[in-house]
Structure 1
Amino acid sequence: MRSPSHPSGTGPTRRSLLQGLGALGALGGATALGAGTAAPAAASAASWRHGRPVPPGKIGFGLYSVRDMLAAAPARTLAMLAEAGYAEIEPAYDYGGRSPAGFRRLADANGLEIVGSHHHPYDFRGEAADVTLERAAVLGQEYVGVSYMDGEQTADGYRRMAEEMNSWGAKARQHGLRWYAHLHDNEFHTDPQTGEVLFDVWLAETDPDLVWFEMDLYWILRARTDPRPYLRRFERRFPLLHLKDGDPVAGLETDLGDGVVDFADILGYLRHPAAHHYVIERDEQPDPVRTARRSYDHLRSLRVTRRV
């Protein structure tokens, strides 16, 4: 999902960013958040020696990446994704002009599970919240959330947003759903007045049993932030991951496998890979069919070696 804001000013180059990530990996136990981890047991390490594939039943596709195609031909779009190999989909804002029940039938007919959906913050405020949550329940999804939060980009603003997120999470739970927020780059900026990393405020102020997050591996790298310490220390908070390739420092997007993001290394910091959903996305749509097929094939070809 496209970020509402971008970092400005000078920052590390792509080469220095990737070198920094490699150095952190070599350090093993030290993280930017101060979390140490013990080495895995020998038996566990041996089982990962040659790497494991990303669980195929947890590979999904973000429908924002095929939004124009979906609007024009929803049945053909979902059939294309199923034929490419996907098991899950994540809608964004609409359902190809179908009612929730109609879209659910279309997804079921193609063997696609609706894992979550992106909405605007105002879709969870006032009377709109019940409508949003009832639609999500009809679709049979486990997660429902926002593509962005619209509060003030300060530590105090993030505390106020955290209160709102907790209330939305509690209401979602009443409908049998789990509430989540998709992350971009701005959440990993620092409040210039307090020095606090804004996302760390959310981690501290939101209830882990009510609020979850969808880390976008492209956007966190765009913010010049290493995702691995967060995945290592707060893995449970990130049940959904967005996988988007390209050159994050330069702000360029590609299909998976055509960029510089080292997904195999980053995903190696998950202790419980089968507990996550891996949603492929590309904001730009130069060739959505190629994006879907090329990206799925690349992700399936990866072999992930445990790093923790």
Structure 2
Amino acid sequence: MGASQTGPARRHLLQGLGAAALLAGTAGTAGPASAAARRGARPVPPDRIGFGLYSIRSMLAEQPEAVLELLAEAGYAEIEPAYDYGGLSPSAFRAATDAVGLRVVGSHHNPGDFRGDLAGPTLERAAVLGQRYVGVSYMDGEETPDGYRRMAEEMNGWGELARSYGLRWYAHLHDNEFRTAPGTGQVLFDIWLAETDPRLVDFELDLYWILRAGVDPGPYLDAHERRFPLLHLKDGVPTEGVETDLGDSSVDFPGILAHLRHPAAHHYVIERDEQPDPPRTARRSYDYLRSLRVRPLPLPR
């Protein structure tokens, strides 16, 4: 490893990782997980636990290789970049992830990156990284039923194009998609479910943001599990806009994940949009999710 990975900045990152481990050890994650384990519950598949690089974007911009090493040492199997690769070219980033044993599962882009002349290079970069999924962090159409129908048509086209590169296209969800259109009683996201082709378009369900919208994710996972191959996990108090590391607050991850009939078919991407200590977020959140045991809900009769 070159000198750029062995200087003070890298030592600071890895020291932060060590401090995070101590904090995680005193945070008390064993309660709900231990109780569930006694009833034969299952773990989250460790080879499907990932980290969203947007959560560590400032450090990534300064020392991308050190950040990847940090995440690998924390135990992660997968990562999800957002918008860039820490200043590295796609091929250099792929080499860096391969070197530490991380896989790129998907990547977030702006909607404009799939329009016009930008679409080809965006998909080519994703193909170089060896990822399975490629998508947007948000959609930018009009927040009306007609607007959502137009967006659904556009997403179908992007999904078709992504498939030609051997990729699956997806859209990350926030709270706004789960609003009810005034005067119609129709949930806007339900338009996407009905009018996007499941062969072409997937969704990344953010468990924090759907709770922020006041919507129970359970029924969506029950009815449309295969449309959500990627899940975003962050803890906090969604109704108040408060975010924390996993295991430090009130989101009922065991209860939500119990709705999954095929847990190994999903990718569990940890993130925290704004946080004071990214190394602690990485270690604390990974350790919590690894300790978690989920008791599947009984199949409906």
TM-score bracket, shorter-length normalisation: 0.7 to 0.9
Number of the residue aligned with 2:174 = 184
Q: CA RMSD in A?
A: 1.1
Q: CA deviation at 1:282?
A: 0.2
Give the secondary-structure state (helix, strand or coil) at the position aligned to 1:259.
coil
Number of the residue aligned with 1:118 = 108
Number of the residue aligned with 1:138 = 128
Number of the residue aligned with 1:41 = none
Q: Structure 1-normalised TM-score?
A: 0.84
d(CA) in 2 for partners of 1:267, 1:287: 26
Pick aligned residue for 2:262 from 257, 266, 272: 272
Pick aligned residue for 2:76 from 76, 86, 107: 86
- 1:197 paired with 2:187, answer yes
Equivalent AA in structure 2 for residue 254 of structure 1: T
Number of the residue aligned with 2:138 = 148
Number of the residue aligned with 2:117 = 127
Number of the residue aligned with 1:249 = 239
Whether the 8 Å CA contact 1:48–1:306 is kept in 2: the answer is no
How many residues are treated as equivalent by the alignment? 262
Alignment of 1:157-168 (within 5 A): 157-168=147-158
Number of the residue aligned with 1:103 = 93
Number of the residue aligned with 2:221 = 231
Whether the 8 Å CA contact 1:48–1:305 is kept in 2: the answer is no
d(CA) in 1 for partners of 2:182, 2:244: 32
Whether the 8 Å CA contact 2:270–2:285 is kept in 1: the answer is yes
Runs of 4+ in 1 over 6 A off after TM superposition: none
d(CA) in 1 for partners of 2:85, 2:259: 34
Give the secondary-structure state (helix, strand or coil) at the position aligned to 2:116.
coil
d(CA) in 2 for partners of 1:137, 1:208: 21
Percent of residue pairs identical: 74
Structure with more of its chain in helix, by fraction? 2
Equivalent AA in structure 1 for residue 99 of structure 2: A
- 1:212 paired with 2:202, answer yes
Give the secondary-structure state (helix, strand or coil) at the position aligned to 2:294.
coil
Give the secondary-structure state (helix, strand or coil) at the position aligned to 1:167.
helix
Unaligned runs of 5+ in 1: 1-46
Q: CA deviation at 1:87?
A: 0.1
Equivalent AA in structure 1 for residue 248 of structure 2: D
